[in-house]
Amino acid sequence: QHKGSDTPPPREVWLYDPGYVSTACCHSSITFIDGDKGVLEYRGYPIEALAASCGFTSVAHLLLEGTFPASVSARSLFAQSIEPKAGIHPLVGDVIQSFPRDAHPMTMLMSATAAMSACRPEWNPALVRGDGGSLRLVYGTRALRSHIAQECISLIGSAAAAIFRHMHGMSVYSERSAAVSVKHSTGASPNSFASAFLRAADPQGSIWPENSQQFAVFAEALDVLFVLHADHELNCSTAAMRHLASAGSDVLTCLAAAIGALYGPLHGGANEAVLNMLEDIGSPDAVEAYVASVKRQERKLMGFGHRVYRSYDPRAKLMRQLARKVLQEAADGHNQRSSEPTGADTTTDPLLLIAQRLEKRALEDSYFTERKLYPNVDFYSGVVYRAMRFPNVFFPVLFAVARSVGWLAHWMEMLDRDALDAERKIVRPRQVYVGHRQQRIPQDAMEK
């Protein structure tokens, strides 16, 4: 509603829609969500089927290009181009090294990604005159954009691995190529995206020994986690990516902004916040008091609620199943390493027990069900990451590695849509001005 009395009425209809709760700003054929029914599909394929049958590499190809890789060799070539590498650009390495080891890794990833933009001036868009005579920003051919997207996924994964090494006192500059094929006796794919990431993050195998059963189980589970996190239509960080792209910013600057948005505890930072919350709660017996304080609106139940899902997030269901498997493997590995077996298993992991009690308690309470608050993807992901021995602060970085695919799929879609030039307009929301007008500067505030 336009209510200003002395400003001219706008030509368009204005909607006052804080948080863009019901405003669509583009067409997309990448991801479909039915929030009421708890349905999520990438390019029309249900997330459950993708998680069960496809690796992250194929899903990345599907999201970026709209199709699965055409052949085994095509998939292998694509895998090589997107996978995290142990080698990184010296500028990026120096940026990461300049941070204290205990700095938040998302600030390192954001800075490293922004720094990469300086290494790739050729990826800036050019202003050219189109057929109709109007000036427009052009980012090369489709093939070039596809190549850029693949390289960006690898750059972010590689930077994330270097950050992990830095945090763990290892060299940021690792000589070892993550692409080295390692034969596993355990049957897990040695060439999955996730296994390349684990090798790049831990080149000596001191955290995840390569030929172990545990490496295979963790790599397989991490690959599924990456699939679940790969895209989620116009979430806050993807909207940020499109927002900056609309201004003509280069792709790496757009990605740095998207990482910044993901860092927030209401978005990708929620997986870290959930783990901190479970640790604060401390024991299943303390759940009741915690829920009571949430109902008094003193705090939020992290990992619960979603703007779009008004029923159970399908990714949370898959994540819960994965948690059991990974925790069991972590407990088995611990018992094998320890001279005095603890007998720990999935049913005694304290944080999983707290999470399960919390979920059950919330789902029985009308406070949560009336507000349609159900677990989201991040409720169980932190428990899984922790069992894999990733530090809490690193969880959002893993999310960013996976979500880089979604950000870039949207970037490509936005730039490919030649027929929909209107959707490439610079994003510029309007406001409803409620301040004073035409004020006189007080005498004592005058400086000239």
What does the alpha-carbon distance between residue 116 and residue 310 come to, in Å, rounded to a whole number?
A: 39
Please, which residue, 2 or 371, has the CB nearer to ligand ACO?
371
Tokens of 157: 């994964």
Site stretch for ligand ACO (CB under 6 A), options 25-33, 248-256, 302-310, 327-335: 302-310
What does residue 91 show for φ and ψ, rounded to 5 degrees? -65, -40
Tokens of 348: 């005694």
Selected from 120, 168, 300, 361, the binder of ligand ACO by CB under 6 A is 300
Interface of this chain with ligand ACO, residues 217 to 236, rule: CB under 6 A: 235
Work out how close the CB of 303 gets to ligand ACO at its nearest, in angstroms, rounded to a whole number.
5
What does the alpha-carbon distance between residue 114 and residue 255 come to, in Å, rounded to a whole number?
A: 8
Residue 266 binds ligand ACO (CB under 6 A): yes
Tokens of 191: 């060439």
Residue 307 binds ligand ACO (CB under 6 A): yes
Residue 267 binds ligand ACO (CB under 6 A): yes
Q: Where are the beta strands (DSSP E) in 30-145?
A: 31-34, 39-42, 45-46, 126-129, 135-138
Please, which residue, 71 or 297, has the CB nearer to ligand ACO?
297
Site stretch for ligand ACO (CB under 6 A), options 111-119, 164-172, 201-209, 262-270: 262-270
Selected from 14, 371, 429, 433, the binder of ligand ACO by CB under 6 A is 371
What is the helix (H) or strand (E) element at residue 192, kind and residue range?
A: none
Contacts of 445 (CB under 8 A, 6+ apart): none
What does the alpha-carbon distance between residue 410 and residue 398 come to, in Å, rounded to a whole number?
A: 19
The DSSP secondary-structure symbol of 137 reads: E
Catalytic residue list contains 147: no
Tell me which of 306, 313, 349, 410 is the catalytic residue: 306
Residue nearest to ligand ACO (CB): 305
What does the alpha-carbon distance between residue 184 and residue 191 come to, in Å, rounded to a whole number?
A: 10
Please, which residue, 117 or 356, has the CB nearer to ligand ACO?
356
If one counts every other C-beta atom within 10 angstroms of the C-beta of residue 158, the result is 27
Question: How far does Cα 20 stand from its chain's mean position?
Answer: 20
Of 270, 277, 205, the residue nearest 237 (C-alpha)? 270
Site stretch for ligand ACO (CB under 6 A), options 35-43, 153-161, 267-275, 382-390: 267-275
Work out how close the CB of 400 gets to ligand ACO at its nearest, in angstroms, rounded to a whole number.
11
Residue 306 binds ligand ACO (CB under 6 A): yes
Please, which residue, 35 or 87, has the CB nearer to ligand ACO?
35
What does residue 35 show for φ and ψ, rounded to 5 degrees? -65, -30
**Three-class SS state of 375:** strand
What does the alpha-carbon distance between residue 344 and residue 46 come to, in Å, rounded to a whole number?
A: 35
Residue 269, CA distances (Å) to 110, 321, 389 in order: 14, 22, 18
Please, which residue, 146 or 376, has the CB nearer to ligand ACO?
376
Please, which residue, 99 or 367, has the CB nearer to ligand ACO?
367
What does the alpha-carbon distance between residue 271 and residue 402 come to, in Å, rounded to a whole number?
A: 14
Residue 376 binds ligand ACO (CB under 6 A): yes
Catalytic residue list contains 34: no
The DSSP secondary-structure symbol of 169 reads: T
Residue 270 binds ligand ACO (CB under 6 A): yes
Selected from 54, 163, 330, 377, the binder of ligand ACO by CB under 6 A is 377
Please, which residue, 20 or 68, has the CB nearer to ligand ACO?
20
Q: Tell me the HSE value of 176 on the side-chain side, using a 13 A CA sphere.
A: 20
Residue 238 binds ligand ACO (CB under 6 A): no
Residue 301 binds ligand ACO (CB under 6 A): yes
What share of residues in the chain are helix, strand, coil (percent, to 5)?
A: 55, 5, 40
Q: Which amino acid is at 141?
A: T
Please, which residue, 123 or 407, has the CB nearer to ligand ACO?
407
Residue 303 binds ligand ACO (CB under 6 A): yes
Selected from 105, 305, 314, 382, the binder of ligand ACO by CB under 6 A is 305
Residue 241 binds ligand ACO (CB under 6 A): no
**Total of residues contacting ligand ACO (CB under 6 A):** 20
Site stretch for ligand ACO (CB under 6 A), options 136-144, 188-196, 373-381, 427-435: 373-381
The DSSP secondary-structure symbol of 271 reads: H
Residue 294 binds ligand ACO (CB under 6 A): yes
Residue 373 binds ligand ACO (CB under 6 A): yes
Tell me which of 229, 232, 378, 410 is the catalytic residue: 378
Please, which residue, 148 or 319, has the CB nearer to ligand ACO?
319
What does the alpha-carbon distance between residue 87 and residue 29 come to, in Å, rounded to a whole number?
A: 35
Question: How far does Cα 260 stand from its chain's mean position?
Answer: 11
Q: Which residues are near ligand ACO by CB under 6 A? A: 19, 235, 266-268, 270, 294, 300-307, 371, 373, 376-378
Residues labelled as active-site residues: 306, 378
